[in-house]
Amino acid sequence: AATAPRVPPTRLALHYFDSSYSLHLGALWPSVRAALLCEQKYGALLNSFAAAEHVPQELQLLNAADFVSPASQKAQQAQQGAAVGEARGCQEGSGEGRTAMQEGMVTQAEMSPPLCTSISSKIKCYTFPRGDVTRFPPARPDALGLLDYYLLDAASLLPVLALDVQPDDFVLDLCAAPGGKTLALLQTGCCGHLAANDISVSRTKRLYQVLHSYVPREVRDTVSVTSYDGRDWDQVEGGTFHKVLVDVPCTTDRHSAMEEDNNIFHKRRTKERQMLPLLQLQLLMAGILAARPGGAVVYSTCSLSPLQNQCVVQ
């Protein structure tokens, strides 16, 4: 043990990714690999609770742009295009059959708004253009001490958008710390109640700090922060929530390839890494049991591993 060469966990992680993801992604892997090893790029999630109307203009002057609204508009246009295509198909029918199909299509369009249109106008996240890794200036407090934006990986917003929170929804963030997605959920302005849970007490402290730095007291009162084992959540409050976010612990690929500290590819964490898919499956099952009938669950990771994604869901 004393003479054996020490392999850094980052190199071990990259070796694992090369052997696994190259088979899974094929010709895409070299560009994905380069992206993993590039300097991390951040997004600035605007804090709607802060008095910071000047911030969007300041960020635009830095050449940053909101990436949420354009994506929502594209999705809406695509859905409208599909509806037009269905209408043209309906016109090929005749008489009562055509009328019934058209009425059904209109009813469906009225009842099924484009995904995330209800919250996309409230969530604003600014990013720099592709290839630009400029750092955002530090967030500043307003007159009440609330910081004007939160820096996070912009992709972290995608599970929140997919959850499509509606007004007065009861929402559970099962693995909430350090708090970026919890804060994004509050930015929707739709949570009737938000339960933010994380098994790690130290990470839960970080979550408390985020809430106190970005959220006014009257909104914090609608959030319950707990440190239960998420796998047992159905025993705490099962069948209760309209929306459940299960953002599970994973190999955190970028961190594993770039950072030595707290790296899950360290040799002493081998067993923990091997058990991840089972833990993820248990958390997803608990999230499903926490949702009420007709509710929705979003499962997400920050890993490319099929074992941690498709296989767990399957």
Give binding residues as ranges.
Answer: 175-181, 198, 229, 247
> How would DSSP label each residue in 35-68?
HHHSPP--EEEE-TTS--TTHHHHHHHTT-EESH
CB 176 within 8 A of CB 196: yes
Give the CA dihedral 56, 60, 64, 65, nearest 10 degrees. 70
Q: In whole angstroms, what is the distance from residue 48 CA to residue 159 CA?
A: 19
Please name the residue that has the structure tokens 């500043």: 140
Q: In whole angstroms, what is the distance from residue 19 CA to residue 46 CA?
A: 39
CB 29 within 8 A of CB 21: yes
State the catalytic residue, choosing from 125, 191, 250, 302.
302
Give the CA dihedral 249, 251, 252, 255, nearest 10 degrees. 130
Q: In whole angstroms, what is the distance from residue 88 CA to residue 93 CA?
A: 10
* Annotated binding-site members for S-adenosyl-L-methionine: 175-181, 198, 229, 247
Task: Indicate if 311 belongs to the active site.
Answer: no
CA 132 to centroid of chain Cα atoms: 22
Q: In whole angstroms, what is the distance from residue 173 CA to residue 144 CA?
A: 27
Q: In whole angstroms, what is the distance from residue 246 CA to residue 230 CA?
A: 9
Please name the residue that has the structure tokens 């708090």: 179
Residue 101, H or E segment: helix 95-111
CA 233 to centroid of chain Cα atoms: 20
Catalytic residues: 302
